[in-house]
Structure 1
Amino acid sequence: MGSMLEVHGLTKRFGGFTAVDRIGFDLAEGEILGLIGPNGSGKSTTFNLIAGALPPTAGSIKLDGQEIAGRSPTEVCHLGIARTYQIPRPFRKLSILDNVALAAYYGANSLISRAEAWKRAEDALALTQLPADPGIRVDGLGAAGLKKLELARALATQPRLLLADESLGGLDEHEMDQAADMLSDIRRERGITIIWVEHIMGVLMRVVDRCVVLDHGEIIASGLPRDVAHDPKVIEVYLGTDAESLQTQVGGRAAEAGAC
């Protein structure tokens, strides 16, 4: 089976600054890929390039063999790629349901009715465990609820590929575990492929199948979580003193998987 997403030689320059430098990776359908690295390493720029928010300076992005580099965010969404944002910006005067229904309506690749938009919104809200009552406003949501709303809006566009950007920021430990489990459920129940950018390594490594590590816009490592956690270059530029704890967590996960 070929790759769903193929990224080759992807480069983005802003004047004399190179934010992403000739990176490349493939993504299989149904995979969860962790895109990690220190602040300023190029993760969000890579998301913006894939999602169409930025045009690449050079390189290729193919979805199912079709070139999508340089297409508009609307076109990319209609092709089946949705993304979340680190900082949720909902329509605060609208209900939770209406926020998600708007995403369903405008994210659809064909004209749908208001009733269908609401149905898709209700399905997305059920998956993210948010209320679908049209009378409930966004104002009452805390940090975890807003992250779920951001995810529900992306899911309402019915994507095949989800770009999840910092889904754990601002959450407590219990909420982080819930969010990570939710991403696993989305893959299992919807068959959605996921690229996940995250700084909370202990949680991310439990969920992802594979990692790509960026530093200064370049890929410095890629592979299974346990291999990346032991990579000397990754430890030097990113994991630092957290490496040993992370290696223990990832090793425990690998042992559990082997026992299944």
Structure 2
Amino acid sequence: MLEVTRLTKAFGGFVAVNEVSFSVTEGEILGLLGPNGSGKSTTFNCIAGMLKPTAGSVKLAGEEIAGQTADTACRKGIGRTFQIPRPFRGLSLLENAVLAAHYGNGGHLSHDEAEAIARDALTLAQLPPEADAMVGGLGAAGLKKLELARALATRPKLLLADESLGGLDATEMRQAADMLKRIRDERGITIVWVEHIMGVLLSVVDRVVVLDHGAVIFEGTPREAQQDEKVAEVYLGPPETRAA
């Protein structure tokens, strides 16, 4: 579904992503992990068309998409959420999702078609699909759900979930993780999930890629990641500095 090869992004003399390579098979949930500043979101933004890579290749279902714009990536089947939800607060939940449906993958839609897709996306994200449900009544967890619903309304083949657990309590984190797994299981949507919080994510994903300072330092199963010394070091520090 997705093949990233030697992806590099530099900002002047600073290399934020340095020859990152990984692939994602159809129907898989891949966790893209790393501490803050490791290059996770920059990698995401290069895949989703928010940033143009300095070098490297990004292929979606075999088609080169590196350097294409975000709206083009969306229409080709890449949906994404953002760390900080920014919905249209003057619109209802349904109107937010309808707007996403009109600009997503699948070509021109009638209003009724877009509304049906939007209602389905809201229901899948466990939000009310009624026309009078407004953004103002949502807390942190609800805004994350709306962010997910808007991405789902674009009818993605590949969903990029960016920091879906940020700002949530332990129960909300578990619910968010279960929701992403259900979306994969019920809809067959391939998911790449960027996160710096390891615990809940490792119980859901099929594989893990870990970044540090813009480079891949680990790729394998969640169990292997938990046992890897390099992964432990970037999260916990060198062995001699860890508490006994």
Do both share a fold (TM > 0.5)?
yes
For 1:175-221, what per-residue CA distance to the aligned partner results, in whole angstroms no more than 9, with x for missing partners?
A: 11111100000001110000001122110000000000000000001
Q: Indicate yes or no: 2:29 matched with 1:47.
A: no
In the other structure, the counterpart of 1:69 is 66
Answering whether residue 231 of structure 2 is matched by residue 237 of structure 1, we say no
- Structure 2's unaligned 5+ residue stretches are 239-244
Quick check: 1:5 aligned with 2:6?
A: no
Structure 1 residue 89 corresponds to structure 2 residue 86: yes
Q: Is 1:112 aligned to 2:112, yes or no?
A: no
Q: Could you say which residue in structure 2 is the equivalent of 1:205? A: 202
Give, in whole Å, the separation in 2 of the partners of 1:157 and 1:72: 16
For residues 239 and 130 of structure 1, the distance between their equivalents in structure 2, rounded to whole angstroms, comes to: 37
Secondary structure at 1:145 match in 2: helix
The reply to whether residue 19 of structure 1 matches residue 16 of structure 2 is yes
CA deviations on 1:58-113 (whole Å, 9 max, x unpaired) are: 00001111100000111100110010000000011110100111000111441111
Q: How many residues align?
A: 238
Among the aligned pairs, what percent are the same residue? 67
Q: CA contact under 8 A between 2:106 and 2:155: conserved in structure 1?
A: no
Q: Tell whether the 8 Å contact from 2:101 to 2:114 is kept in structure 1 after alignment.
A: yes
Within a 5 Å distance, the mapping from 1:238-257 to structure 2 comes to 238-240=235-237
Q: Which runs of 5+ in 1 are unaligned?
A: 242-260
Which secondary structure does the structure 1 equivalent of 2:203 belong to?
Answer: helix
TM-score, reference length from structure 2: 0.96
| One of 130, 149, 152 as aligned partner of 1:152 | 149
Structure 2 residue aligned with 1:181: 178
* 2:76/2:105 contact within 8 Å kept: no
Cα distance in 2, alignment partners of residues 186 and 201 from structure 1: 20
Distance in 2 separating the partners of 1:50 and 1:111: 24
The answer to whether 1:132 aligns with 2:136 is no
Instruction: Provide the C-alpha distance between the structure 1 equivalents of 2:120 and 2:237, rounded to a whole number of angstroms.
Output: 41
Task: Give, as a single letter, the amino acid of the residue that structure 1 aligns with 2:33.
Answer: I
Residue 172 of structure 1 deviates from its aligned partner by: 1.2
Q: Does 1:168 align with 2:132?
A: no
